[in-house]
Structure 1
Amino acid sequence: MAKPIYLDYNATTPIDPAVQEAMLPFLGEHFGNPSTTYAYRQPAKEAPERARQQVASLIGAAPEDHHLVALFHTFQ
Protein backbone atom coordinates (compact mmCIF):
# COMPACT_ATOMS: atom_id res chain seq x y z
CA MET A 1 0.00 0.00 0.00
CA ALA A 2 1.24 3.48 -0.84
CA LYS A 3 2.05 5.94 1.91
CA PRO A 4 -1.00 8.16 2.63
CA ILE A 5 -0.89 11.80 1.57
CA TYR A 6 -1.72 14.28 4.33
CA LEU A 7 -4.03 17.04 3.04
CA ASP A 8 -5.07 18.88 6.20
CA TYR A 9 -2.21 21.39 6.42
CA ASN A 10 -4.76 24.11 7.12
CA ALA A 11 -5.39 22.50 10.52
CA THR A 12 -1.86 21.47 11.49
CA THR A 13 1.50 20.76 9.94
CA PRO A 14 4.52 18.69 10.91
CA ILE A 15 7.15 20.60 12.87
CA ASP A 16 10.36 21.29 11.01
CA PRO A 17 13.23 19.54 12.86
CA ALA A 18 15.10 22.85 13.33
CA VAL A 19 12.00 24.45 14.88
CA GLN A 20 11.46 21.44 17.14
CA GLU A 21 15.08 21.61 18.32
CA ALA A 22 14.77 25.34 19.06
CA MET A 23 11.53 24.80 21.02
CA LEU A 24 12.66 21.83 23.14
CA PRO A 25 14.23 23.90 25.95
CA PHE A 26 10.90 25.69 26.45
CA LEU A 27 9.00 22.41 26.70
CA GLY A 28 11.31 21.25 29.48
CA GLU A 29 13.73 23.26 31.58
CA HIS A 30 12.72 26.80 30.43
CA PHE A 31 8.93 26.59 30.69
CA GLY A 32 8.61 29.77 32.81
CA ASN A 33 5.86 32.29 32.20
CA PRO A 34 7.36 35.28 30.34
CA SER A 35 4.62 37.59 31.67
CA THR A 36 5.62 37.25 35.33
CA THR A 37 8.12 39.30 37.32
CA TYR A 38 10.30 36.57 38.84
CA ALA A 39 13.68 35.53 37.44
CA TYR A 40 12.52 32.09 36.25
CA ARG A 41 10.74 33.80 33.35
CA GLN A 42 13.90 35.21 31.79
CA PRO A 43 14.69 32.54 29.14
CA ALA A 44 11.05 32.45 28.02
CA LYS A 45 10.94 36.26 27.87
CA GLU A 46 14.20 36.61 25.92
CA ALA A 47 13.39 34.02 23.23
CA PRO A 48 10.66 36.02 21.41
CA GLU A 49 12.86 39.13 21.48
CA ARG A 50 15.71 37.18 19.87
CA ALA A 51 13.25 35.90 17.26
CA ARG A 52 12.10 39.46 16.55
CA GLN A 53 15.70 40.55 16.02
CA GLN A 54 16.36 37.59 13.72
CA VAL A 55 13.25 38.30 11.63
CA ALA A 56 14.16 41.98 11.43
CA SER A 57 17.65 41.13 10.24
CA LEU A 58 16.27 38.70 7.67
CA ILE A 59 13.88 41.25 6.14
CA GLY A 60 16.08 44.32 6.55
CA ALA A 61 13.92 46.05 9.16
CA ALA A 62 14.32 47.29 12.71
CA PRO A 63 13.01 44.96 15.46
CA GLU A 64 10.56 47.62 16.62
CA ASP A 65 9.03 47.77 13.12
CA HIS A 66 7.21 44.46 13.52
CA HIS A 67 5.53 42.37 16.20
CA LEU A 68 5.25 38.65 16.77
CA VAL A 69 1.79 37.48 17.78
CA ALA A 70 0.46 34.12 18.90
CA LEU A 71 -2.62 32.94 17.05
CA PHE A 72 -4.74 30.01 18.10
CA HIS A 73 -8.30 28.79 17.80
CA THR A 74 -10.46 27.07 20.35
CA PHE A 75 -13.29 25.04 18.91
CA GLN A 76 -16.08 23.89 21.18
Structure 2
Amino acid sequence: MNSCGLVDQHHVLKIDTPCSGIQELEFMHFHCKRIDLISVPGLSTALCHSWRSKNLPVRFGYVPQLRQVSLACKAKAW
Protein backbone atom coordinates (compact mmCIF):
# COMPACT_ATOMS: atom_id res chain seq x y z
CA MET A 1 0.00 0.00 0.00
CA ASN A 2 1.37 3.36 -0.99
CA SER A 3 -0.20 6.61 0.26
CA CYS A 4 -3.37 4.71 1.10
CA GLY A 5 -6.39 6.86 1.94
CA LEU A 6 -8.67 4.05 3.09
CA VAL A 7 -8.18 5.01 6.72
CA ASP A 8 -7.63 8.58 7.92
CA GLN A 9 -4.90 9.71 10.29
CA HIS A 10 -7.07 9.33 13.42
CA HIS A 11 -8.06 5.70 12.87
CA VAL A 12 -6.41 2.30 12.98
CA LEU A 13 -6.16 0.05 9.90
CA LYS A 14 -7.00 -3.47 11.11
CA ILE A 15 -6.00 -6.48 9.04
CA ASP A 16 -7.70 -9.71 10.12
CA THR A 17 -7.35 -12.31 7.37
CA PRO A 18 -6.99 -15.73 9.03
CA CYS A 19 -7.79 -17.69 5.84
CA SER A 20 -5.86 -15.61 3.30
CA GLY A 21 -2.64 -16.50 1.55
CA ILE A 22 -1.05 -13.09 2.19
CA GLN A 23 2.70 -13.59 2.53
CA GLU A 24 4.05 -10.04 2.23
CA LEU A 25 2.75 -6.60 3.19
CA GLU A 26 4.49 -3.32 2.41
CA PHE A 27 3.26 0.06 3.62
CA MET A 28 4.75 3.30 2.28
CA HIS A 29 3.76 6.88 3.18
CA PHE A 30 0.64 5.86 5.07
CA HIS A 31 -1.23 8.32 7.22
CA CYS A 32 -3.36 6.23 9.55
CA LYS A 33 -2.79 6.20 13.31
CA ARG A 34 -1.52 2.61 13.33
CA ILE A 35 -1.76 -0.75 11.56
CA ASP A 36 -2.96 -3.73 13.60
CA LEU A 37 -2.07 -7.10 12.10
CA ILE A 38 -4.68 -9.05 14.04
CA SER A 39 -4.45 -12.44 12.30
CA VAL A 40 -2.35 -12.96 9.19
CA PRO A 41 -0.99 -16.49 9.67
CA GLY A 42 0.78 -16.77 6.28
CA LEU A 43 2.58 -13.43 6.54
CA SER A 44 6.35 -13.84 6.34
CA THR A 45 7.46 -10.26 5.50
CA ALA A 46 6.23 -6.89 6.81
CA LEU A 47 7.78 -3.65 5.55
CA CYS A 48 6.82 -0.17 6.78
CA HIS A 49 8.36 3.01 5.38
CA SER A 50 7.74 6.71 6.06
CA TRP A 51 4.99 6.97 8.65
CA ARG A 52 3.93 10.22 10.31
CA SER A 53 3.14 9.28 13.90
CA LYS A 54 5.61 9.53 16.78
CA ASN A 55 4.94 5.93 17.81
CA LEU A 56 5.72 2.59 16.22
CA PRO A 57 3.15 2.20 13.42
CA VAL A 58 2.46 -1.53 13.63
CA ARG A 59 1.09 -3.94 16.24
CA PHE A 60 1.63 -7.61 15.62
CA GLY A 61 -1.06 -10.10 16.58
CA TYR A 62 -1.12 -13.68 15.26
CA VAL A 63 1.63 -13.79 12.62
CA PRO A 64 3.40 -17.13 13.33
CA GLN A 65 5.29 -17.24 9.99
CA LEU A 66 6.69 -13.69 10.26
CA ARG A 67 10.44 -13.81 9.65
CA GLN A 68 11.39 -10.43 8.18
CA VAL A 69 10.37 -7.03 9.53
CA SER A 70 11.64 -3.69 8.28
CA LEU A 71 10.65 -0.38 9.88
CA ALA A 72 12.25 2.67 8.31
CA CYS A 73 11.42 6.34 8.77
CA LYS A 74 13.27 9.61 8.48
CA ALA A 75 13.13 11.32 11.84
CA LYS A 76 11.52 14.73 11.95
CA ALA A 77 11.89 17.46 14.52
CA TRP A 78 8.47 17.90 16.13
Q: TM-score range by the shorter chain?
A: under 0.3
Greater RCO (Cα-Cα under 8 Å, separation 6 or more):
2
**TM-score computed with the length of structure 1 as normaliser:** 0.24
Higher strand share: 2
**Greater Rg over alpha carbons, structure:** 1
**TM-score computed with the length of structure 2 as normaliser:** 0.24
